[in-house]
Structure 1
Amino acid sequence: MNFRLAAVMKRSVTLELINRDIVYTRPYIVLLNGEELMRENRNVISIFGLEPDTEYRIAIILAEGGGEEPKWLSFRTAPESVLLDVRAFGALGDGKNDDTACIQAAIEACPKDGTVRIPKGRYLTRPLFLRSGLSLWLDRGAVLLGDPSREHYPRLPGMTERSDGKGGFNLGSWEGDPETSYASLLTGIELRNVDIFGEGTVDGNADRSDWWEEHKTKRGAWRPRTIFLCRCRCIRIQGVLVRNSPSWTIHPYYTDGISLYNVTIWNPPDSPNTDGFDPESCEDVLLLGCRISVGDDCIAIKSGKARMAGERRKASRNFALRNSILERGHGALTIGSEAAAGVYRVEASLCIFSGTDRGLRLKTRRGRGPDCFYDEIYFHHIRMENVPMPFTFNMFYHCDADGHERYVQSQEALPVNAMTPGIGAVRAENIRCSGVDSALLCAYGLPERPIGAILLRGIDAVFLEDPERPKRQVLMMDDFPPMRGMSIYAKNIGSLKLENISIRGAEKEPILQNISDYESRAFILR
């Protein structure tokens, strides 16, 4: 069986099988230094308990009936300067006493290329600030538990004027604007080369505090995330469970080169604004073998609102998602709407979307910002299970207080200017959708700037059978009717190409309006 080394750290490694199976494959055996280590069937696995600066040989063979000779790969774990245990610094890990000072002391004392170990236990803590060159190891059974009292959380100012006259210094952020927010349980400011790894848990503890109450009100400062990374480079998170977040769970902000391997993100289904992973103005982002189940969008790619896009314009680019499961969220993978600086080159493949309201969700509107353009969006080899609306592209998204103004919602072709958003090329291939309810594709472009090009190829969709089920709201825009059983609704599109499409159980034929270039091949509606 072919595989690759996805990430080699000091005490762990992540492997990815190379195949066309979605998330799971045939059972196999992992051999480490000639001995059986584990039996698995996931395409992406992480192995812990390795020693630093040590040579290993690894192979994968089929569990039954393979008979093939193992193909060995050799790797060497990264060197480690020192291992510091937080209990040696006085941390108790009893879930009652405040361990913040002890853990922070271990972090501050740790030299470059060192590791801070958090062993089994429940460590009640206020926000912790990480350092460059650090590895944070959450061992199996270790829980970092967020302090439930907001009075114990320091604030990150949204914008502070620099003394040297070079503009503002931005720390806090809230939904695309530089706003004062509480520091997060794990906070990183301008870090380089940080690993967070292990089989432990980072628990925001929001289910036992008041973070989810009056969630639309700023009380002292805006709610914290669980992990916030501001202007960082080369961050890897591997294996950990992150749960019960006060708001967005993991929020990389102007951060490049962030990778998540076998990370699980879990928030209750009714928890407000608890997106799973929100890279904002980030480049080179990878999610591999992750599982996300939350109360809002599972993944939302952003690049700020108009002010940040104007003052510190930075698009989000080069996003890859593979062999992951996205569950329960409003959108499995969402782009926008706070993406005023644009989003480019997004690829999702070999994933399962299960029980999310929408699959691929693009949302934007007039007035978002000077470079709000989405392009090169590619989805392929994905299975959507009980996803009512697999593809929704909305350029009239009515977010924020001004989202219902005439300028945003007008159906007339308005003059194109710097605040006119755009969507370029979107491609979806080899996708199976079951439990479709409202519409397979609902795409609504602007009359003055239609969506550039949509290609659906190799799509198999099965709608729900209950003809009495209620209609649902597909697009969050004014005066757009709820739908049920709509095969395809597309309006204001430059090019729409449908190839090898099979739709079963839809009640309505496609509705196409203002499509400049339309092509349909092997489109079967039954």
Structure 2
Amino acid sequence: MIRKKIKGDSFRPAAVLLLGLLSLSSLWAQEPARPIVQQASFPKDTLFIADFGGKGDGQFLNTEAINSAIAAASAKGGAVVSLPAGLWLSGPIEMKSNVNLHISREAILLFSDDFNQYKLVESNWEGEPAWRNQNPISGKNLENIAITGTGIIDGNGGAWRMVKRSKMTESQWKKLISSGGVVDSKSNIWYPSEGSLRGAQQKKAGVMRPGTTAADFQDVKDFLRPNLLVFTQCKRVLLEGVTIQNSPAWNLHPLMCEDLTVRKLLVRNPWYAQNGDGLDIESCKNVLVEDCTFDVGDDGICIKSGRDKAGRDRGMPTENVIIRNNIVYHAHGGFVIGSEMSGGARNIWVENCSFIGTDIGLRFKTTRGRGGLVENIFINNINMVDIPGEAILFDMYYAAVDPVPLVGEQKQAVTVVKRPVTEETPRFQNFVIRNVHVHGADKGIFLRGLPEMPIKNVLIEHAQISAKKGIEIMEASDIVLKDITLASQESSPLVHIDNSENVLVEGLKPVNPTDLLIELTGESSKGIVLRATDVQQVKQQSRLSGNAKKNALTIKP
């Protein structure tokens, strides 16, 4: 009822509009019940790898010994499989139901860099069915499984990954080239083999198409990097305590799982690691991620649900997720949704997390063609330090490039064209973000929707932001920014709103002298209210340009 009134009469008196927006902000805050995540449990019986012929000397290949121990533990109804002190070299490990693989503090599980150990298998890559090299750790249709301990799991990812020259010093680049491998024709990217380079030159190499088999991709096998750990359609999964690092592609990829707990992990990758994500939760239900630390090459904690038609056909949103008490150091984004979110995402809580040096803090990204509905996202108590990009970003024009341009690169300008709404049109709505503290960012808040599908129903409340630039809102509706303290180096304008409607900015507190407080552009802009703003250091409160209508903005004390 409230939303219909707001949209039906955007030029009604400002007091009525204000009442409607404040009522909406109260409505958004009504959270659904939080999920209860069922936990895995195991008998105390313990099997040791050495009893199955294993050797922790860094030379012996333990693939058969580890898999035999896991199979024996599952066959007896469940047990702990222990990896004691040592350097345990292995090929792909296949988990079984009712098994806890325990990595002791003094143990390293190191995966082989011999690609022949990894056969091509039917898998999934960035939300689509694809042929990939077998994951170092995998399991499908399992129940009650765990990887625990305080040891290290290393995916030997440097043997698999391509590396961009722009992310290396000159001496590092020369050393990389001298190690072998090949570079592309422009000498911009190093590949570990000719097959890896061939794969990069193909469009969607490995993606399954009718009539293709694994044999069709043998010549580009080296390019089809596996994610380090993939559990598919598993229930009651626990990942606790261990260090997961150096993955060929993503580190952790739970896919279509239910009742997943990720606790006290240290997840690492080199900062330059291509596709070196930390945790990608895809089409999962009932998830708890707590007390973890991430320092990776791509997104830190990421929510996904399939890509384009494949994701829409699967139709499995990631839902009922609690993410709390985590730290993310280097990453493209601290907490991320998208861009492969075609199956949707809903009912997600993120609280008490810190992002230190992530390219973007809160990152919500999608693009036309994805489809999918992302809604009911509740975020509270987030700290950010030294963010090179945006502290809070919503972007429906995502392109698969680094979020912060490297030296010599420039972001491509977006061509804004309104298109028909179809099943391929993505949607972001119903976000509540409270108590955010930012010390250093390029931009404080950035919202960019589509002309045919604005970003809707976003409340950002109680934020203290120190950034080079302030706030930019484009193609959005029903937005409330409340009690925002903003220390911006660039003061003209502090807030820019373009082609948006029903936006309330209440209690804005500029810290530094401000030449222009708010600039309104776009002939579609309407129902913009600026209220209870501290204007002591403001030279000019407002400016309308770019065909913006005079009655589109109301300023109230």
Q: Which TM-score band (shorter chain)?
A: 0.7 to 0.9
* 1:485-496 superposed matches below 5 A: 485-496=468-479
Q: What is the number of residues matched between the two proteins?
A: 405
Q: Distance in 2 between matches of 1:453 and 1:364?
A: 17
1:14 matched residue in structure 2: none
CA contact (8 A) 2:127 2:311 kept: no
Aligned with 2:483 (options 500, 503, 512) = 500
CA contact (8 A) 1:83 1:115 kept: yes
2:397 matched residue in structure 1: 396
2:416 matched residue in structure 1: 411
* Structure 1 pair 504–79 and aligned structure 2 pair: CA distance change class (3 A): closer
1:522 matched residue in structure 2: 507
Q: Distance in 2 between matches of 1:201 and 1:148?
A: 17
Structure 1 letter corresponding to 2:452: E
SS state of the match for residue 129, structure 2?
A: coil
2:97 matched residue in structure 1: 132
Deviation, structure 1 residue 506: 3.2
- 1:360-399 CA distances to partner (integer Å, 9 max, x unpaired)? 1111111114xx1111122111111111311111111124
Q: Distance in 2 between matches of 1:81 and 1:385?
A: 43
Structure 1 letter corresponding to 2:261: S
Aligned with 1:92 (options 31, 55, 58) = 55
TM-score by length of 2: 0.70
Give structure 2 stretches of 5+ with no counterpart. Answer: 1-39, 164-189, 206-219, 402-412, 513-557
- 1:122-167 CA distances to partner (integer Å, 9 max, x unpaired)? 111001000011111111111110110112102222xxxxxxxxxx
* 1:425-444 superposed matches below 5 A: 425-437=430-442, 439-444=443-448
Q: Distance in 2 between matches of 1:186 and 1:260?
A: 16
1:40 matched residue in structure 2: none
Q: Distance in 1 between matches of 2:155 and 2:225?
A: 11
CA contact (8 A) 1:294 1:327 kept: yes
Structure 2 letter corresponding to 1:147: S
1:247 matched residue in structure 2: 249
Q: Distance in 2 between matches of 1:275 and 1:177?
A: 17
1:196 matched residue in structure 2: 147
Q: Does 1:151 align with 2:125?
A: no
Q: Does 1:386 align with 2:386?
A: yes
CA contact (8 A) 1:422 1:451 kept: yes
Q: Distance in 1 between matches of 2:352 and 2:280?
A: 20
RMSD between superposed Cα atoms in Å = 1.8
* 1:181-260 superposed matches below 5 A: 181-208=132-159, 214=191, 217=200, 218=205, 219-220=220-221, 222-260=224-262
CA contact (8 A) 1:305 1:338 kept: yes
- Rg larger for: 2
Give structure 1 stretches of 5+ with no counterpart. Answer: 1-76, 158-171, 401-407, 464-484
Deviation, structure 1 residue 244: 0.3
- 1:439-474 CA distances to partner (integer Å, 9 max, x unpaired)? 1111101111111122111100112xxxxxxxxxxx
- 1:63-113 CA distances to partner (integer Å, 9 max, x unpaired)? xxxxxxxxxxxxxx9561621000111111111111111111111111222
1:316 matched residue in structure 2: 318
* 1:98-109 superposed matches below 5 A: 98-109=61-72
* Structure 1 pair 306–505 and aligned structure 2 pair: CA distance change class (3 A): closer
Structure 2 letter corresponding to 1:241: T
Structure 1 vs Structure 2: percent identity of aligned residues?
Answer: 30
Structure 1 letter corresponding to 2:427: G
CA contact (8 A) 2:160 2:225 kept: no
Q: Does 1:118 align with 2:83?
A: yes
Q: Distance in 2 between matches of 1:429 and 1:357?
A: 21
Q: Distance in 2 between matches of 1:209 and 1:377?
A: 36
2:455 matched residue in structure 1: 451
Q: Distance in 1 between matches of 2:160 and 2:50?
A: 26
Q: Distance in 1 between matches of 2:85 and 2:501?
A: 61
Deviation, structure 1 residue 418: 1.0
TM-score by length of 1: 0.74
SS state of the match for residue 356, structure 1?
A: coil
CA contact (8 A) 2:306 2:312 kept: no
Structure 2 letter corresponding to 1:191: L
* Structure 1 pair 459–210 and aligned structure 2 pair: CA distance change class (3 A): closer
Deviation, structure 1 residue 410: 4.9
Q: Distance in 2 between matches of 1:271 and 1:303?
A: 23
Q: Distance in 2 between matches of 1:456 and 1:222?
A: 41
CA contact (8 A) 1:211 1:246 kept: no
Deviation, structure 1 residue 490: 0.2
CA contact (8 A) 2:261 2:287 kept: yes
